[in-house]
């Protein structure tokens, strides 16, 4: 299950991480309108890319 879904259960002690267990990587899709402010879309995509890079660095 994705860590963002399990985070509260891990913190609450209901679930426990098993070290050296396989990780689950899921693709991410972004849907946005083609009309409107491209600046907003670009800022959102930049923030998502930064978050992905941060999480990937934690996994490495």
- pLDDT confidence of residue 8: 94
User: pLDDT for 24-54, tens place per residue?
Assistant: 778 888 888 888 788 988 999 999 999 989 9
Q: List the one residue out of 18, 25, 12 whose CA is nearest residue 59.
A: 25
Name the pTM for this structure.
0.54
The mean per-residue pLDDT over the stretch 3-32 comes to 87
Q: How far apart are CA 2 and CA 23, in angstroms?
A: 9
Phi-psi region of 36 (alpha: psi -120 to 50; beta: other; left: phi over 0): left
pLDDT value of position 32: 84
Q: What is the C-alpha separation between 33 and 59, in angstroms, rounded?
A: 32
């Amino acid at each position: 299950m994705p860590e963002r879904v399990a985070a509260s259960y891990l913190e609450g002690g209901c679930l426990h991480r098993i070290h050296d267990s396989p990780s689950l990587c899921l693709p991410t899709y972004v849907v946005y309108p083609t009309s409107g402010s491209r600046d907003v879309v670009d800022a959102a995509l930049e923030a998502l890319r930064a978050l992905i890079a941060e999480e990937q660095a934690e996994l490495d």
